[in-house]
Amino acid sequence: MSSFLTREGTYSLLHPPLPNASLPLTYEEPETWYTDTQTQDLLAVINACLHNLYDVQRAKSIFDRMRERPNHPGLDTRVYNAFINSYIGMATTKDPNNREYWVENAWELYEAMKRDGAERIAPNAGTYAALFVAWVRCVAPPMIA
């Protein structure tokens, strides 16, 4: 064992990989790499407003203003899913009297994600799970046992 521990280590030098021939030589750089301070502040306010459905209307107004800017760096699928979940929560627990309004907002947000428009936000498994919960809680007929 002692001879193993005292021997000199061997090293391998690897050259950097060659460029992939199928990729274009030039590509479009993202508009920003990091979000600016104002965007981080707005996202913090949105998170606070959506927490426990505290002030969803205020969060929605901030979110709608952020969506007006194409390719906004702070908006991603996670933020969209948080709004869909909040809208469904409002429809089922906090504001069931306006259920149609909240479900319609959730559906419109999903439709905006599906379109290949300026937003370029793709739905993921979490999006479909939230919509399934919305369907079960708001649309599906009750199960008869």
pLDDT of residue 128: 96
pLDDT tens track for 9-51 = 777 777 776 666 665 555 555 555 677 889 899 999 999 999 9
φ/ψ of 80, rounded to 5, equals -60, -45
Query: Which sequence spans correspond to the domains of the chain?
Result: 33-139
Q: Are 59 and 89 in contact (CB under 8 A)?
A: no
| Burial of 6 (C-beta count, 10 Å sphere; 0-12/13-18/19+) | exposed
| CA–CA gap between residue 103 and residue 92 (Å, rounded) | 9
- Does the predicted TM-score (pTM) go above 0.75? no
Which tokens hold the place of 4? 């193993």
CA end-to-end distance (rounded Å), the chain: 70
